[in-house]
Structure 1
Amino acid sequence: MRKPRLRRWEASEYLALVHGITIASTTLAKKASVGGGPAFNKGENRTPLYPVEELDRWALKRLGKLVHSTSEFGE
Protein backbone atom coordinates (compact mmCIF):
# COMPACT_ATOMS: atom_id res chain seq x y z
CA MET A 1 0.00 0.00 0.00
CA ARG A 2 1.29 3.45 -0.93
CA LYS A 3 1.63 6.04 1.80
CA PRO A 4 -0.55 9.10 1.15
CA ARG A 5 2.09 11.50 2.53
CA LEU A 6 5.85 11.23 2.49
CA ARG A 7 8.58 12.64 4.69
CA ARG A 8 11.08 14.92 2.94
CA TRP A 9 13.70 12.22 2.33
CA GLU A 10 10.99 9.88 1.02
CA ALA A 11 9.69 12.64 -1.26
CA SER A 12 13.19 13.06 -2.69
CA GLU A 13 13.41 9.31 -3.41
CA TYR A 14 9.87 9.23 -4.85
CA LEU A 15 10.59 12.06 -7.28
CA ALA A 16 13.72 10.28 -8.49
CA LEU A 17 12.11 6.85 -8.85
CA VAL A 18 8.74 7.87 -10.31
CA HIS A 19 9.56 11.01 -12.28
CA GLY A 20 13.32 10.85 -12.83
CA ILE A 21 13.81 14.18 -11.03
CA THR A 22 16.90 14.15 -8.86
CA ILE A 23 16.47 16.64 -6.03
CA ALA A 24 18.11 16.39 -2.63
CA SER A 25 16.01 16.51 0.51
CA THR A 26 18.07 19.55 1.56
CA THR A 27 17.01 21.31 -1.65
CA LEU A 28 13.37 20.48 -0.86
CA ALA A 29 13.96 22.01 2.58
CA LYS A 30 15.37 25.18 1.01
CA LYS A 31 12.42 25.41 -1.41
CA ALA A 32 10.04 24.95 1.53
CA SER A 33 11.44 28.11 3.10
CA VAL A 34 11.88 30.30 -0.01
CA GLY A 35 9.19 28.87 -2.31
CA GLY A 36 9.20 26.99 -5.57
CA GLY A 37 8.87 23.48 -4.20
CA PRO A 38 5.98 21.08 -3.92
CA ALA A 39 3.17 21.82 -1.46
CA PHE A 40 3.35 20.10 1.93
CA ASN A 41 1.58 19.80 5.27
CA LYS A 42 3.13 20.19 8.69
CA GLY A 43 2.65 17.05 10.77
CA GLU A 44 1.95 16.89 14.49
CA ASN A 45 5.59 17.19 15.39
CA ARG A 46 6.17 19.91 12.72
CA THR A 47 7.52 17.33 10.29
CA PRO A 48 6.82 18.35 6.69
CA LEU A 49 4.70 15.74 4.92
CA TYR A 50 4.35 15.84 1.16
CA PRO A 51 1.09 14.48 -0.32
CA VAL A 52 1.95 12.16 -3.22
CA GLU A 53 -0.54 13.91 -5.53
CA GLU A 54 1.21 17.25 -4.86
CA LEU A 55 4.61 15.70 -5.66
CA ASP A 56 3.16 14.39 -8.94
CA ARG A 57 1.62 17.78 -9.78
CA TRP A 58 4.86 19.64 -9.04
CA ALA A 59 6.96 17.15 -11.02
CA LEU A 60 4.73 17.35 -14.10
CA LYS A 61 4.79 21.15 -13.98
CA ARG A 62 8.58 21.12 -13.67
CA LEU A 63 8.98 18.64 -16.55
CA GLY A 64 6.81 20.73 -18.87
CA LYS A 65 4.65 19.64 -21.76
CA LEU A 66 5.47 16.69 -23.99
CA VAL A 67 6.81 17.53 -27.45
CA HIS A 68 7.45 15.47 -30.57
CA SER A 69 10.39 17.49 -31.93
CA THR A 70 12.74 20.24 -30.85
CA SER A 71 10.97 22.66 -33.21
CA GLU A 72 7.96 22.61 -30.89
CA PHE A 73 9.87 24.38 -28.10
CA GLY A 74 9.38 27.76 -29.79
CA GLU A 75 5.60 27.43 -29.92
Structure 2
Amino acid sequence: MSVQQHYSVPEAAAYLGTSVRFIRRLVADRRVTFYKVGRHVRFKREDLEAFVQAGRVEAITADSVRRDLWRAA
Protein backbone atom coordinates (compact mmCIF):
# COMPACT_ATOMS: atom_id res chain seq x y z
CA MET A 1 0.00 0.00 0.00
CA SER A 2 1.47 3.35 -1.02
CA VAL A 3 1.39 6.35 1.23
CA GLN A 4 0.12 9.44 -0.54
CA GLN A 5 1.84 12.69 0.31
CA HIS A 6 -0.42 15.68 0.95
CA TYR A 7 1.10 19.12 1.18
CA SER A 8 -0.04 22.02 3.33
CA VAL A 9 -0.09 25.54 1.85
CA PRO A 10 3.48 26.39 3.01
CA GLU A 11 4.75 22.99 1.83
CA ALA A 12 3.06 23.44 -1.58
CA ALA A 13 4.64 26.89 -1.88
CA ALA A 14 8.06 25.46 -1.09
CA TYR A 15 7.53 22.57 -3.53
CA LEU A 16 6.62 24.95 -6.37
CA GLY A 17 9.18 27.57 -5.33
CA THR A 18 6.54 30.26 -4.90
CA SER A 19 5.13 32.32 -2.06
CA VAL A 20 2.38 31.23 0.30
CA ARG A 21 0.35 34.18 -0.92
CA PHE A 22 0.49 32.91 -4.51
CA ILE A 23 -0.75 29.46 -3.41
CA ARG A 24 -3.61 31.04 -1.45
CA ARG A 25 -4.53 33.08 -4.53
CA LEU A 26 -4.60 29.92 -6.64
CA VAL A 27 -6.97 28.36 -4.11
CA ALA A 28 -9.21 31.43 -3.96
CA ASP A 29 -9.40 31.56 -7.78
CA ARG A 30 -9.86 27.75 -7.92
CA ARG A 31 -6.98 27.47 -10.40
CA VAL A 32 -5.45 24.44 -8.69
CA THR A 33 -7.04 21.27 -7.34
CA PHE A 34 -7.10 21.15 -3.56
CA TYR A 35 -8.71 19.20 -0.74
CA LYS A 36 -10.39 20.55 2.35
CA VAL A 37 -9.64 18.65 5.54
CA GLY A 38 -11.76 20.44 8.09
CA ARG A 39 -10.62 24.02 7.75
CA HIS A 40 -7.23 23.04 6.35
CA VAL A 41 -6.30 23.02 2.66
CA ARG A 42 -4.17 20.17 1.31
CA PHE A 43 -2.66 19.38 -2.09
CA LYS A 44 -1.57 16.14 -3.75
CA ARG A 45 1.78 16.24 -5.49
CA GLU A 46 0.15 14.94 -8.70
CA ASP A 47 -2.28 17.87 -8.71
CA LEU A 48 0.54 20.37 -8.25
CA GLU A 49 2.46 18.71 -11.09
CA ALA A 50 -0.66 18.85 -13.31
CA PHE A 51 -1.00 22.57 -12.57
CA VAL A 52 2.61 23.17 -13.59
CA GLN A 53 2.25 21.10 -16.77
CA ALA A 54 -0.94 22.96 -17.74
CA GLY A 55 1.08 26.18 -17.76
CA ARG A 56 3.81 24.76 -19.97
CA VAL A 57 4.72 26.90 -22.97
CA GLU A 58 6.64 25.32 -25.83
CA ALA A 59 9.83 27.00 -27.01
CA ILE A 60 9.60 28.97 -30.22
CA THR A 61 11.48 27.61 -33.23
CA ALA A 62 11.91 28.79 -36.80
CA ASP A 63 9.62 25.97 -37.99
CA SER A 64 6.86 26.95 -35.57
CA VAL A 65 7.06 30.59 -36.73
CA ARG A 66 6.77 29.53 -40.39
CA ARG A 67 3.85 27.22 -39.54
CA ASP A 68 2.03 29.98 -37.66
CA LEU A 69 2.61 32.48 -40.45
CA TRP A 70 1.34 29.97 -43.01
CA ARG A 71 -1.89 29.49 -40.97
CA ALA A 72 -2.42 33.25 -40.69
CA ALA A 73 -2.18 33.76 -44.47
Q: TM-score range by the shorter chain?
A: 0.5 to 0.7
Report % sequence identity. Answer: 14
Unaligned runs of 5+ in 1: 17-22
Question: After the TM superposition, which segments of 4 or more aligned residues of structure 1 sit over 2 Å from their partners?
Answer: 66-75
CA RMSD of aligned residues (A): 2.6
Instruction: Using structure 2 for the length normalisation, give the TM-score.
Output: 0.68
Gaps of 5+ in 2: 69-73
User: Which of 22, 25, 30 is equivalent to 1:27?
Assistant: 22
Note closer, same or farther for the CA distance 1:40–1:70 as it changes in structure 2 (3 Å cut).
farther
The 1:7/1:69 distance shift into structure 2, 3 A limit, reads same
Aligned residues: 65
The structure-2 alpha-carbon separation of the partners of 1:53 and 1:70, relative to structure 1 and needing over 3 Å to count, comes to farther
Aligned partner of 1:57 in structure 2 is 50
Return the TM-score normalized by structure 1: 0.66
| Largest Rg, 1 or 2 | 2
Alignment-derived partner of residue 72 in structure 1:
64
Specify the alignment match of 1:39 in structure 2.
33
Mapped to 2, the partners of 1:56 and 1:70 lie a distance apart of: 29
